[in-house]
């Protein structure tokens, strides 16, 4: 049946001194099978999917019991689970939804911070995909099955799985692991603000927030998607088909004007930074000392980042503030690069003149020596 002492030895429950009997009941000290596996000895035998949350909760919802092992462990998993779509549907008799063991495994069940755990951040999406990306398994339901495929194309997947940045979200970061929504937010689309604080602070004060909320539009997700979130570029602000703003605004209205002005500012600063970078690279290659200007370029890039965050105020004047600050620095750096090249030219001329003088002296010396020898 696939349960071995070897697999169970890795299970957190085995490691904490629990045994098969802790979950399955029975009398492990009896050699008599009939007695060992008798209901009188608390024998439960096979545990049906429907019973699993209750079984796990019998310990995990008992603070007095859990405190003896690990006082810092939460004891609300079962209560939270009851609020989720999974929990509600299970209560209604649908055993195809996820129960505790679908996410955590069983008999080889590891603590969430163990990299081999099914709920270790990088592994979670695979656990969800086993059902949610399986067209056959999900055919009874009307929910889409593309979340895993889309998530795999996202910046979040790239950050978490490819770059190993454990602060990036996976499925359960946004959906909650046990409850219907993660702690601290009233609904899943609001979860972005837990991490993208600056954008959220700005967005929260805008007319968009008010009208989107009133129309039950999911905030950030309206412009960024939920699963296939990609790295946004300035092109999002263009008026080309598919760009963000023109999905709702029309040519010439207040949104279109704001978009155009913000795009112009960002393009200008981006261009100025690249130009200064190029000039400084040329100066550096020519052996000139431009490290101060190089360092200052970071401040210009910082202003560009802030200007892009400031889009979320949807006020061109706020974006302009950062653009102008950045332009000032980039212009100065460009000037520094140009000055360095002028200086290099001066030095080249000086070098040429002195080389010429040295050659003259050498030639004179040579002729003088020849003359003495003669
Ligand atoms: C933390 C609780 C827990 C512990 C400890 C545990 N089990 Fe299980 N076991 C379960 C659950 C829950 C299931 C049902 C799994 C499912 O359907 O996904 C199960 C299923 C089984 C099954 C399969 C039953 C069937 O009909 O498919 C066997 C056999 C089994 N366990 C034996 C063991 C043995 C032997 C040990 C000790 C080495 C053990 N279990 C320890 C919870 C536990
Ligand atoms: C007989 C009581 C009992 C049952 C039943 C039980 N557990 Fe546990 N579980 C424990 C104890 C004790 C620990 C160890 C806590 C610690 O020291 O961190 C634990 C640890 C865990 C952990 C690791 C927590 C951590 O971060 O350290 C997970 C996850 C877990 N159990 C899930 C389950 C699931 C899922 C089930 C049902 C299949 C289940 N447990 C059934 C008692 C139980
Ligand atoms: C939909 C998937 C899913 C289901 C279903 C699920 N869990 Fe979890 N569980 C997780 C994830 C993901 C984590 C890791 C959370 C983290 O890393 O902070 C976790 C963590 C835990 C922990 C460690 C402490 C904590 O709360 O972070 C325990 C204990 C636990 N789960 C028990 C249970 C029990 C008991 C059930 C069933 C009532 C259950 N889980 C159902 C995904 C799930
Ligand atoms: C054992 C299969 C299974 C696993 C594993 C599973 N789910 Fe589900 N899930 C379901 C089923 C079945 C539904 C019910 C579909 C519906 O709501 O109509 C569901 C519903 C949901 C819903 C509600 C969808 C809606 O809007 O109605 C969310 C969100 C969800 N699951 C997220 C997750 C996440 C996140 C994970 C991984 C941590 C996960 N699920 C793991 C089977 C599973
Ligand atoms: C960055 C946050 C985020 C991540 C990561 C994420 N989701 Fe979602 N998900 C959302 C939002 C927002 C919605 C739509 C809001 C709602 O209806 O609750 C949603 C909707 C869903 C739904 C309902 C059906 C649908 O597609 O609209 C399911 C099922 C689901 N997600 C599963 C998953 C799974 C599985 C993963 C991991 C592969 C995942 N999600 C990763 C934020 C996220
Ligand atoms: C758990 C924290 C967390 C949550 C929740 C979260 N993100 Fe992210 N997000 C990150 C991290 C980490 C990155 C990658 C590092 C970076 O580029 O900032 C990222 C990257 C992004 C990027 C690309 C940024 C860039 O410069 O390329 C966008 C856009 C984004 N997230 C939007 C969202 C939206 C919309 C939501 C909500 C549906 C959301 N995020 C939820 C942490 C989070
Ligand atoms: C009305 C559309 C819209 C809404 C709503 C929106 N954004 Fe954006 N967001 C954009 C556009 C356009 C960009 C592209 C900036 C660029 O690169 O020029 C962007 C860029 C970003 C970036 C990456 C660039 C950066 O550093 O700012 C992140 C992260 C981000 N948004 C997060 C969020 C979050 C979180 C929310 C919700 C609080 C949100 N956005 C709401 C349109 C929107
Ligand atoms: C989902 C539709 C939608 C998208 C996408 C959208 N807007 Fe809007 N926008 C609106 C609505 C609705 C209003 C409110 C009009 C009103 O107040 O009567 C609005 C208002 C505005 C206003 C006026 C705000 C104020 O303070 O009065 C500006 C500026 C604006 N949008 C800019 C943008 C920009 C820039 C983008 C792209 C990054 C964008 N919008 C994307 C729907 C949208």
Domains and CATH numbers, the chain: 254-373 (1.20.140)
Q: Are 269 and 327 in contact (CB under 8 A)?
A: yes
CB neighbours of 118 closer than 8 A, spacing ≥ 6?
A: 103, 104, 105, 110, 124, 126, 127
Q: Which ligand is nearest to the CA of 125?
A: 5
> What is the atom index within ligand 1 of the atom nearest the CA of 100?
12
d(C-alpha 131, C-alpha 222), whole Å = 26
Check residue 183 and give its pLDDT. 77
> Residue 155 is encoded by which pair of tokens?
């910046």
User: If you measure from the C-alpha of residue 251 to the centroid of ligand 4, how many angstroms do you get, rounded to a whole number?
Assistant: 41
CA-nearest residue for atom 31, ligand 3, is 77
* Residues listed for the chain: 374
Closest ligand 2 atom, residue 113 Cα: 26
Strand stretches in the chain, DSSP E:
none
pLDDT the model gives residue 188: 87
| Cβ within 8 Å of residue 130, ≥6 positions away | 102
- Predicted pLDDT at 187: 85
**Residue 2 Cβ < 6 Å to ligand 1:** no
pLDDT tens digits for range 292-338: 999 999 999 999 999 999 999 999 999 999 999 999 999 999 999 99
Cβ(98)–Cβ(106) under 8 Å?
no
CB atoms within 10 A of CB 225: 13
DSSP 188: G
pLDDT for residue 45: 85
| Helical spans, DSSP H, in 152-311 | 155-157, 171-175, 197-203, 207-214, 220-224, 254-285, 291-310
Rounded Cα distance, 147 and 164, in Å: 21
Does the C-beta of 171 come closer than 6 Å to ligand 6? Answer: no
- Say if ligand 4 is within 6 A of residue 171 CB: yes
321 phi/psi in degrees, rounded to 5: -55, -50
- If one residue of 158, 170, 196, 222 were mutated to test the ligand 6 pocket, choosing by the most ligand atoms within 8 A of its CB, it would be 196
Distance CA 340, CA 351 (A): 16
Question: Tokens 């019973």, residue?
Answer: 51
Q: Given CA atoms 204, 206, 211, 214 in this order, what sign does their dihedral have? A: positive
pLDDT tens digit sequence for 332-368: 999 999 999 999 999 999 999 999 999 999 999 999 9
Query: Could you tell me the two tokens for 95?
Result: 């055993």
Name all residues whose Cβ lies below 6 A of ligand 3. Answer: 53, 56-57, 60, 73-74, 77-78, 81, 86, 98, 100, 103-104, 112, 119, 124, 172, 177-178
pLDDT score at 139: 96
Q: Could you say which DSSP state residue 106 is in?
A: S
Whole-number Å distance between alpha carbons of 147 and 126: 11
How high does pLDDT run on average in the chain? 95
Query: E strand or H helix at 344, and its extent?
Result: helix 316-373
d(CA 51, CA 22) in angstroms, rounded, equals 15
Joined together, the tokens standing for residue 345 give: 């030219």
Digit-by-digit pLDDT tens for the chain (374 residues) are 789 999 999 999 999 999 999 999 999 899 999 999 999 999 998 899 999 999 999 999 999 999 999 999 999 999 999 999 999 999 999 999 999 999 999 999 999 999 999 999 999 999 999 999 999 999 999 999 999 999 999 999 999 999 999 999 999 999 999 998 887 778 888 899 999 999 999 999 999 999 999 999 999 999 999 999 999 999 999 998 889 999 999 999 999 999 999 999 999 999 999 999 999 999 999 999 999 999 999 999 999 999 999 999 999 999 999 999 999 999 999 999 999 999 999 999 999 999 999 999 999 999 999 999 99
d(CA 157, ligand 4 centre) in Å: 19
- What is the token pair recorded at 259? 């978009």
Residues with CB under 6 A from ligand 8: 207-208, 211, 222-223, 237, 244-245, 247-249, 254-255, 258-259, 314
Distance CA 199, CA 197 (A): 6
Beta-carbon-side half-sphere exposure of residue 62 (alpha carbons within 13 Å): 11
- Cβ pair 206, 313 in contact under 8 A: yes
Q: Would you state the pLDDT for residue 284?
A: 94
Which of 214, 233, 314, 320 maximizes ligand 8 atoms within 8 Å of its Cβ, making it the mutation to test the pocket? 314
pTM: 0.93
Q: How many whole angstroms separate alpha carbon 310 and alpha carbon 316? A: 9
Atom 40 of ligand 5: nearest residue by CA position: 171
């Amino acid at each position: 049946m696939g349960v071995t002492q070897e697999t169970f030895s890795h299970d957190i429950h085995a490691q904490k001194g629990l045994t098969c009997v802790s979950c399955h009941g029975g009398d492990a000290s009896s050699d008599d099978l009939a007695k060992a596996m008798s209901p009188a000895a608390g024998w439960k035998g096979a545990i049906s999917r429907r019973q699993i949350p209750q079984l796990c909760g019998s310990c995990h919802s008992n603070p007095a019991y859990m405190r003896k092992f690990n006082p810092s462990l939460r004891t609300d998993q079962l209560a939270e689970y009851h609020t989720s779509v999974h929990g509600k549907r299970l209560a209604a008799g649908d055993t195809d939804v996820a129960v505790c063991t679908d996410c955590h495994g069983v008999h080889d069940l590891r603590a969430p911070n163990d990299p081999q755990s099914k709920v270790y951040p990088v592994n979670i999406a695979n656990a969800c995909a086993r059902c949610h990306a399986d067209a056959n398994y999900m055919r009874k339901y009307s929910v889409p099955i593309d979340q895993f495929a889309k998530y795999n194309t996202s910046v979040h997947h790239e950050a978490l799985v490819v770059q190993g940045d454990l602060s990036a979200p996976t499925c359960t970061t946004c959906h909650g692991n046990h409850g219907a929504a993660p702690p601290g937010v009233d609904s899943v689309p609001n979860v972005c603000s837990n991490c993208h604080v600056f954008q959220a602070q700005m967005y929260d004060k805008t007319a968009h927030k008010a009208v989107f909320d009133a129309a039950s539009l999911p905030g950030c997700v309206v412009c960024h998607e939920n699963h296939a979130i990609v790295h946004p570029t300035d092109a999002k602000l263009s008026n080309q088909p598919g760009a963000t703003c023109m999905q709702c605004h029309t040519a010439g209205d207040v949104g279109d004007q704001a978009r155009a002005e913000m795009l112009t500012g960002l393009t200008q600063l981006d261009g100025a930074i690249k130009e200064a970078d190029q000039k400084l690279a040329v100066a550096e290659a020519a052996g000139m000392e431009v490290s101060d200007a190089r360092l200052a370029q970071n401040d210009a890039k910082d202003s560009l980042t802030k200007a892009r965050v400031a889009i979320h105020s949807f006020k061109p004047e706020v974006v302009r503030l950062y653009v102008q600050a950045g332009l000032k620095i980039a212009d100065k750096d460009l000037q520094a690069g140009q000055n360095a090249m002028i200086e290099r030219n001066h030095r080249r001329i000086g070098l040429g003149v002195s080389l010429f003088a040295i050659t003259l002296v050498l030639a004179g010396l040579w002729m003088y020596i020849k003359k003495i020898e003669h």
